[in-house]
Structure 1
Amino acid sequence: MTPIDNSGATPLSPAGEHGAGCWSRIGVAGDRSCDLLPQHAHCRNCGEYAGAARQHLARAVDDVYLHGWAEHFRAPQVEKERLDASAVVFRIGREWLALPTAMFVRIAPHTVPHKVPHRNARGLRGIVNIGGRLYPCVALQEVLGIAEDGGTSREDRHTFARLLLVQWEEQAYALPVADLHGIVRYASGRVQAPAATINKGLLRFLTGVLPEGDLRIGCLDVGLVGHQLARTLR
């Protein structure tokens, strides 16, 4: 018996060619050799595909089917981890660090700061012009006591130095970083206590360590970091 398409006017080829599952053999999911494909553009527009869907929906509801769905709905619901925090992750030297996303104004290309006369606070590199606005440029590695050298770029990634423009209270700052990982959303319960082997100078600025893939990210204390940034301008 030759199947008929939805219009009832155009007979399709025998089931040997356009039979059950033909879309996975000669259709869009197969080698695309079906002679009806140019006419219908996609298998979902073909009567054979629609007929198979009707047969699937009209099949008998047997005990196996009922048992399978009963087991599905009987299974306890798995609670997904609630991602209640987000941070921007960046690298200074060999250390991957993070600050809360809400603290960030924008990310800018790296630029050489201009020195400020009679200003020699620890970490203050000068000022930078970003989009017509001047920002004090503060080197976090000096503030946090991190060696600027060391660290390597991750595989399959291009590494570019950046300026992170962050806001603390009423003042914005530009922070040079060696690499930028991007925004990470995470559950605050995943944050672990810092290891005792972490640099002591850096350790006091951390609220914890966030595991993210192959990275171990130090979560910086916003209050302490903000206080240190403000000190550079006094």
Structure 2
Amino acid sequence: MNPTDDGSPSHGAGCWSRIGVTGDGSCELLTQHAHCRNCGEYAGAALQNLARAVDDGYLREWAEHFRAPETRDERLDSSSVVFRIGREWLALPTAMFVRIAPHTTPHRVPHRAAPGLRGVVNVGGRLYPCVSLAELLGIGEDGGESRQGRHTFARLLLVQWEERAYALPVADLHGIVRYAATRVLPPAATINKGLLRYLTGVLPEQDMRIGCLDAGLVGHQLARTLR
């Protein structure tokens, strides 16, 4: 320490680490200010630090920082169940689904021949109207292959629209996919026109391009099969 003429410790650069709160606490000004950050010596040193000259390396480093593109984590704000009918990978919002069941042959309903209505199926002791999405969407049920390394199992998708549940037969089930809505692309004009009107967009996922179905339009068509 550098004492003043009267023997008291001197103030100046770094005095807070010598006689202040991070030093030996002998500064007489502590009784007035309680902490070095409330003292003019400390504030003056802070201003000098901010006003110091900077070198070219410092400027380059911060220029690179602010020039770099901003990175944002994708917010996974959407969730759909992905399935295959024929060659088409399609998806409906997860909120529509009641359960997934093994495929079973529907029993025809006498005097009911609405387009798409295949009959009724018994799942867990409850009857569900069985509706062909392929027929409603105008797509073929033949063709298509399972993804590599996976077995293909036909399934019944039990979905709810308003107060009615329906069974939808599909050729294969991929499962739930969570994704950011911003990843959904506009559907290409080359897509089958019958299917195109039911799509809200196309989701690229791994090696698939998944058609995201409009829940409202599909639900309306499901309801029409029972009128």
Matches within 5 A, 1:91-106: 91-106=84-99
Confirm or deny that 1:122 pairs with 2:115.
yes
Shift in Å at residue 150 of structure 1?
Answer: 1.1
Shift in Å at residue 185 of structure 1?
Answer: 0.1
Q: 1:88 is paired with a residue of what secondary structure? A: strand
Q: Distance in 1 between matches of 2:198 and 2:186?
A: 13
Q: Distance in 2 between matches of 1:218 and 1:212?
A: 11
Q: 2:216 is paired with a residue of what secondary structure? A: helix
1:142 to 132, 135, 139: 135
Q: 2:226 is paired with a residue of what secondary structure? A: coil
Map of 1:227 onto structure 2: 220
Q: Distance in 1 between matches of 2:190 and 2:144?
A: 17
Q: Distance in 2 between matches of 1:90 and 1:165?
A: 13
Kindly, what percent of the aligned residue pairs are identical?
80
Shift in Å at residue 197 of structure 1?
Answer: 0.7
Instruction: Encode CA deviations 1:86-132: one digit per residue, 9 max, x unaligned.
Output: 00000000000000000000000000000000000000000000001
Map of 1:193 onto structure 2: 186
Shift in Å at residue 155 of structure 1?
Answer: 1.0
Q: Distance in 1 between matches of 2:148 and 2:203?
A: 20
Matches within 5 A, 1:21-170: 78-170=71-163
1:206 to 193, 199, 202: 199
Q: 1:229 is paired with a residue of what secondary structure? A: helix
Q: Distance in 1 between matches of 2:74 and 2:183?
A: 10
Q: Distance in 2 between matches of 1:132 and 1:147?
A: 31
Tell me the TM-score normalized by structure 2: 0.69
Could you list the runs of 4 or more consecutive aligned residues of structure 1 that deviate by over 4 angstroms after TM superposition? 74-77
* Greater Rg over alpha carbons, structure: 2
Confirm or deny that 1:171 pairs with 2:171.
no
Q: Give the aligned CA root-mean-square deviation in angstroms.
A: 1.6
Q: Distance in 2 between matches of 1:111 and 1:198?
A: 30
Q: Distance in 2 between matches of 1:159 and 1:150?
A: 13
Amino acid at match of 2:222: L
Amino acid at match of 2:72: E
Shift in Å at residue 80 of structure 1?
Answer: 0.7
Shift in Å at residue 79 of structure 1?
Answer: 2.0
Map of 1:48 onto structure 2: none
Amino acid at match of 1:168: W
Between the two proteins, the alignment pairs up a number of residues equal to 163
Tell me the TM-score normalized by structure 1: 0.67
- Unmatched 5+ residue regions in structure 2? 1-61
